[in-house]
Amino acid sequence: MRIGIFLFPECEELDWAGPWEVLTTWARLRPDHDVEVFTLARDNVAATSSLMTSVCTGSLVFAAAGLLDHRPATTHWGAIPELEALAAGREIEIRPDDRFVDDGEVITAAGVSAGIDMALHLITRLGSVDEAKRVRRTIQYDPEPPV
């Protein structure tokens, strides 16, 4: 199974590194799943029907490229003019209040910790709840805010 994380110009490091850590930890803990986690960038994007792509705050980039047409998506940018302009004329259901949106092959997350939650959700979907909990414990991710 191949899971791609899309990198784009000026992306926040934690937006992709958080999900990367979750998914590569899962791959390491469950080698029997034969999971390959890799990054994609504009010059080497390969779209296949089995590709799961986490875009984190890259919803703006995907919208501009038309990759979110007829798909729901979220972003931590909320309803800002740039996003509205990119979505204009396209059939994109923007869900700015959702932490992540799973639309099958494309999953968008609203930012750093939302990307980690999205990756744990993906493990639950592709593996199991117990596997996601094991990864969460292994990376010491406690979703309860300390303040």
Domain ranges of the chain: 2-138
Residue with tokens 């875009």: 55
Q: pLDDT of 101-138, one tens digit each?
A: 998 888 888 877 888 999 999 999 999 999 999 999 99
Predicted confidence band of residue 48 (pLDDT cuts 50, 70, 90): very low
The mean of the pLDDT values for the chain is: 78
Q: Give pTM, 2 decimals.
A: 0.75
Predicted confidence band of residue 27 (pLDDT cuts 50, 70, 90): very high
Q: Tell me if 143 sits within 8 A of 113, measured CB to CB.
A: yes
Please, which residues have CB within 8 angstroms of residue 133's CB and are 6 or more apart in sequence? none
Check whether 53 has a pLDDT greater than 50. no
DSSP tag of 57: G
DSSP assignment of 63-96: HHTTTTTTEEE--TT-S-HHHHHHHTTS-EEE-T
Using alpha carbons, select from 57, 28, 33 the residue that is nearest to residue 139: 28
Per-residue pLDDT, 128: 97
Per-residue pLDDT, 25: 95
Q: What mean pLDDT do residues 36-64 have?
A: 57
Predicted confidence band of residue 92 (pLDDT cuts 50, 70, 90): confident
Per-residue pLDDT, 143: 80
Better-predicted residue by pLDDT, 11 or 2 = 2
Per-residue pLDDT, 30: 96
Q: Where are the alpha helices (DSSP H) in 8-128?
A: 13-29, 59-64, 81-87, 112-126
Superfamily grouping for domain 2-138: Class I glutamine amidotransferase (GATase) domain (3.40.50.880)
Per-residue pLDDT, 59: 61
134 Cα distance to chain centroid: 20
Which secondary-structure segment (H or E) carries 53? strand 52-54
Q: What CA–CA distance (Å, rounded) separates 42 from 38?
A: 14
